[in-house]
Structure 1
Amino acid sequence: MFPTSSYRLPQPITVGRIFNVAIESELIKVGYIFVLAILSFPYFDFAHTPSAGIDNSWRMALEIIYEKKLVWGKDVIYTYGPLGRWLQRYVITTAPFELFLVDSFVAINLVVLLYSFLPNPLKLWHLLLYFPLWAIVNSMHGEWIHFLWFYLVIYWGVRYLYQPNLLLLYYLLVLSAVNFFMKANYGIIILGYTASLLSFRFVVQRGNVKEYLASLTVLGLLLISGAHWLHTDLIGYLISSLHVIDGYNESQALYPENKLRVVLLAYGCFLLQFLTAIVYLVRLRFAPQKRNDSPYITLFTLFWLLIISFVLLKYAFTRADDGHLTVFIKQSSLLLLLVMVSVPEAWLKKTFFGYLVLNCVIYLTFYIPIFGKIPVNYATEFSQKALLVRHYLQQAVTHSYPVPQATLPDSIRQKIGRQTVDVIPNEISTVYFNGLNYNPRPALQSYQAYNAYLDAKNRDKYLSESAPEWVIFEYTGIDGKYPLADETQTLLALLQRYSTVDESNQQLFLRKNRQTKQLTLVRQQTKRIVMGQKLHLATTDSLLHIVYARTQYTAYGKALNMFFQPPQLTMTISAEDHSAVEYRAVPSLLQKGVIVTSRVDNLSDAKEFLATRQVTNKRITDISFDQKIRWQPGFDPAIDLVIQSYRLK
């Protein structure tokens, strides 16, 4: 017999053992994160050169509003807030150094975030697996910087519950306030999340009452001081933002024609997340009671993951164009990472890792044919991103805009001079290029006056003492809607107070009159029609006629509106010249009225209508409404109408 010994024979080197080697070197970890951070670099330029366009226009408006110190929630109502300019790439009035500091802050946070994603202990196979997954997720089309600011609060909030730290808590409070003043939709969710986080810490984790009250006080002081510093009416900003969010769903909806497969896959992914949360809840109900609060933190995490995932799902498919369709699959991938990194339950980690892989497969298989290929040569992509970083830094130091080139005739610019100007409907870039004195209505562009509240705010502006001296008017619309129905109440104020004095380049130039005409209600009648039935008008008088239409969703329509997007409605307007034009109709816009005296089809018609309230040979003879049926009717067939006739004198 041989004597026993502690000596063991060397284990054979296998591929599995190599992949399972622990990585403890900080140099390797930092180098790995550096590569991921370079791949994640989002900017092709330090700042964009201003150009015309509906989206570029509101970006320019954010810059001009900042310079003029207009009050948010009162003078300005918009999706973005006073810090929204940080999320855009214009430095018209924002100092380049300020934008560089903000970008640097984001970059540092991204590096720390990526580092925190690394498993502990870190194995070689982790590095090899997470690299392509992150590269695919990062390469997905969709908002990135906007969501990153939001995600930082969500992610570190969950980590705070596992490892409470006072410094991290106050960092979260500051980030919550910044998010609120950046973008209203994310900001309101963040405030709800932060309040629930603080309450969870106090109630479930039995936190200190002084710490809880101090945290709420600090958050309140940050909001109040931020509102003062950023020229914001805090209550007005909150209320008006809720109206913007509420009106967006109906007014901005676009049906994803020929992309239903992508819709079904996204909803399927969300359903998997929902069912997993239900399974966890059931297992927790029947599991032995534990003395720690870890399961409740997991529940908190899953609860907020589902809320945010649903918001992303709605955002992606309410306005289902190429700029929004990918939002859910990209941003929900980051939420899946949150669960994988944070929760202690191994089966949940594995399940959500599977969902992340599924997201990547779905994107590669179904989204790529729509949006283009992802680079697979990561060495080349890294070198390209490194060049972009250098280009960005060079621009940050040397950036300067070319001198804006005037787009209006000299004669008109001389007439306007330094008098105040607004633009209808959308092309605010005209103000920037021509160096005009901008005085906007609260909802900056016509398509953004989503409901009666926002339209009334714009109308009140035009009837107030602070109304702009000039209005530059174009006849354009979006999404197939009737351009004259976007801002009906504002249009009435325009008729009361402005007159056309010039015309150039498909634009009318309206000047404020010394006296405001009175709009007097002469008669009112109510009617009820059904879908497809014509409302006969055939008016021959000189009055202004407005139809207010109220539609009702069916139970199916309400469910569709809540969980996907609103049912679609059309409006057909027939004129005395025997022509009929079909437009997309929006229930919230119909409720605030449509002028049905004459149909306006182009700028020439608009000019005649603004001057005489009529258009030759285009008196409206009838109007009808129809619904586009998706599987079954989304609207009740009955439509209640109020027809008001006004004398403008």
Structure 2
Amino acid sequence: MIAKKFNHLLIYCSSILITFTIVYLSFNVDLKGYVQNSLEIISGYKKAMQIYEDVDYMKYYIAALFAALLFCLQLYRLKRELFSYQQLAKLLLIMLAFYYCFSYSFTRGAAALFFKCSIVSVVVFLSIYLTKDNVAKNRFYTLTIFILSFGFFNYFYNDFFTVTNWHPSQYTQPIPARLLDKAKTYDVYPYQTSLVYFNDLLYHPRPIIQSYSAYTPALDRINADFFAQKQVDNILFHTSVKNLPWGNTIDERYFMYEEPLAKIEILKNYAVTGKVNDSLFIAGKRKTTTDIKFKLLTEHTYSLGEPIDLSSLDSTKLYFFTTDFNYSSKAKLASLLYKFPYISVELTTTDHKTIKFNTVSDLLVSHSVLNKYCSNFMDYFSLIDNKKFSQLKTIQTIRFIPNQRGYSTMFAFKIFEATRI
């Protein structure tokens, strides 16, 4: 009997796999590349897309664990009903939804999300197990459902209110016709694709269309190849009107440390062709590619939290760095239920200004700008403009600060001199 069921299961799984393969091959899809890139996206999400919390995050986790404890208590009290296959099936579905929401909130690294994510499964759970023969319990469960539902809608109302208070003009602003060639293709940096729609442009995006989503070196390389081959004619660069110190990106991450490979290819193959305003400009293909070569100057080992002095570097030249941080076995194990540790970066400029931001440490194995601070994309293009380069702020020290234990204490830090050919 068991062998027969196993054979049926094997047939069903094989049929699904064969159908999936035939469909993708019929549409001329690189199935191997699809699988590889899918695994790459999954592997990098947990480390890159977590929410960076403030020092009060512990109280949210305690609240989340308390909610989980209450949920488990309810399961224990209803253990007698588990002998029913129908009830067991319902319970397993609810537990699966609950675990998924629980896991998602902790993967994103924000226990404050736990209430939002898990509330639906809790409400459904209580609704299913409303007892018919106990009025007091029914009143208690009904009241609990009402309170939780109110909190659920209140949370999402606040989210909606936040969204509606954005500045829609920065995503729909018209671009003068004299600056556009609608026969050519456009991409948008870092993610405001609505600009293409509202200006009726031909959209030809890079493979990973949002900069903060290219969160592994392999994904970054895919976008870099796109720009190296000049597959798009023009790029719209949009800078936040808030003028944040880390630039126009998410989770307080420094935009210059995202897509480092792609940014180098953009510098080599594109140049500013038109400026709309302080927050929006256009870059087009260079007639002649500008090559950038890297020469290794120094390689030293530093400890996390130790300031790295850059004052000996020539401020008239451009330098890049690479580094490689390794996770400990403890961090890898803890990440199964919690999240990976992350690293914050602290820059100090020669005018004694300190800029602190978060980063995706895995991306720093690629060449990233070291000695010049760029606050927006226009500054970024100034890196290879001899007239504007001297106006950029010079970085005097850089420091890598882990938010918690989980990294190897020592790391290698390489400095490269960049030369333009």
Q: Superposition RMSD on alpha carbons, in Å? A: 4.2
Q: Is the 8 A contact 2:290 2:420 kept in 1?
A: yes
Aligned equivalents of 1:215 and 1:474: distance in 2? Answer: 49
Aligned equivalents of 1:594 and 1:499: distance in 2? Answer: 19
Shift, 1:206, TM fit: 3.2
Shift, 1:440, TM fit: 1.1
Q: Is the 8 A contact 1:266 1:328 kept in 2?
A: no
Q: Does 1:216 align with 2:13?
A: yes
- Taking the TM superposition and a 5 Å limit, the aligned residue runs for 1:36-55 are none
**1:250 corresponds to which of 43, 47, 54:** 47
Kindly provide the amino acid, as one letter, of the partner of residue 618 in structure 1. Answer: K
Aligned match of 1:646: 418
Judged with a 3 Å threshold, the aligned counterparts in structure 2 of structure 1 residues 455 and 449 are, in CA distance, closer, same or farther, namely same
The alignment partner of 1:206 has SS state of helix
Aligned equivalents of 1:332 and 1:428: distance in 2? Answer: 37
Aligned equivalents of 1:419 and 1:487: distance in 2? Answer: 24
Shift, 1:449, TM fit: 1.0
**1:313 corresponds to which of 91, 102, 107:** 102
Aligned match of 1:328: 118
Aligned match of 2:359: 585
**1:240 corresponds to which of 14, 37, 41:** 37
Q: Does 1:599 align with 2:354?
A: no
1:340-389 superposed Cα distances (whole Å, 9 cap, x missing partner): 79xxxx9xxxxxx9x9889847736876775569xxxxxxxxxxxxxxxx
**2:319 corresponds to which of 531, 545, 562:** 545
- Taking the TM superposition and a 5 Å limit, the aligned residue runs for 1:81-92 are none
Q: Could you list the runs of 5+ residues in structure 1 that have no partner in the other structure? A: 1-202, 285-292, 347-352, 374-403
**1:575 corresponds to which of 327, 349, 356:** 349
Q: Does 1:495 align with 2:267?
A: yes
Q: Is the 8 A contact 1:421 1:438 kept in 2?
A: yes
Shift, 1:442, TM fit: 1.1
Shift, 1:488, TM fit: 0.7
Q: Does 1:561 align with 2:335?
A: yes
Aligned match of 2:217: 452
Aligned equivalents of 1:408 and 1:635: distance in 2? Answer: 46
Q: Is the 8 A contact 2:52 2:251 kept in 1?
A: no
Aligned match of 1:620: 395
**1:481 corresponds to which of 220, 231, 253:** 253
Kindly provide the amino acid, as one letter, of the partner of residue 509 in structure 1. Answer: I
Aligned equivalents of 2:30 and 2:141: distance in 1? Answer: 41
Shift, 1:595, TM fit: 1.2
Judged with a 3 Å threshold, the aligned counterparts in structure 2 of structure 1 residues 313 and 323 are, in CA distance, closer, same or farther, namely closer
Q: Is the 8 A contact 1:544 1:648 kept in 2?
A: no
Identity of aligned residues (%): 20
Shift, 1:244, TM fit: 1.9
1:313-359 superposed Cα distances (whole Å, 9 cap, x missing partner): 1312415398775122324655x589979xxxx9xxxxxx9x98898
Shift, 1:551, TM fit: 2.6
When the two structures are aligned, how many residues end up with a matched partner? 387
**1:469 corresponds to which of 223, 233, 250:** 233
Q: Is the 8 A contact 1:424 1:446 kept in 2?
A: yes
Kindly provide the amino acid, as one letter, of the partner of residue 226 in structure 2. Answer: K
Shift, 1:491, TM fit: 0.4
**2:193 corresponds to which of 428, 443, 450:** 428
Q: Is the 8 A contact 2:373 2:392 kept in 1?
A: no
Kindly provide the amino acid, as one letter, of the partner of residue 223 in structure 2. Answer: N
Aligned equivalents of 1:310 and 1:490: distance in 2? Answer: 37
Aligned match of 1:206: 4
Shift, 1:635, TM fit: 3.8
Kindly provide the amino acid, as one letter, of the partner of residue 186 in structure 2. Answer: V
Kindly provide the amino acid, as one letter, of the partner of residue 418 in structure 1. Answer: A
Aligned equivalents of 1:358 and 1:553: distance in 2? Answer: 46
Judged with a 3 Å threshold, the aligned counterparts in structure 2 of structure 1 residues 554 and 518 are, in CA distance, closer, same or farther, namely same
Q: Is the 8 A contact 2:268 2:290 kept in 1?
A: yes
Judged with a 3 Å threshold, the aligned counterparts in structure 2 of structure 1 residues 340 and 643 are, in CA distance, closer, same or farther, namely farther
- Taking the TM superposition and a 5 Å limit, the aligned residue runs for 1:272-351 are 309-317=98-106, 318=108, 320=110, 326-331=116-121, 336=125
- Taking the TM superposition and a 5 Å limit, the aligned residue runs for 1:501-516 are 501-505=273-277, 506-516=279-289
Identify the structure with the greater helix proportion: 1
Aligned equivalents of 1:226 and 1:463: distance in 2? Answer: 31
Identify the structure with the greater strand proportion: 2
Aligned equivalents of 1:444 and 1:617: distance in 2? Answer: 28
Judged with a 3 Å threshold, the aligned counterparts in structure 2 of structure 1 residues 322 and 512 are, in CA distance, closer, same or farther, namely farther
Kindly provide the amino acid, as one letter, of the partner of residue 118 in structure 2. Answer: F
Aligned match of 2:134: none
- Taking the TM superposition and a 5 Å limit, the aligned residue runs for 1:126-205 are 204=2
Shift, 1:459, TM fit: 0.4
Q: Is the 8 A contact 2:204 2:232 kept in 1?
A: yes
Q: Is the 8 A contact 2:267 2:381 kept in 1?
A: no
Aligned equivalents of 1:332 and 1:225: distance in 2? Answer: 40
Judged with a 3 Å threshold, the aligned counterparts in structure 2 of structure 1 residues 237 and 277 are, in CA distance, closer, same or farther, namely farther
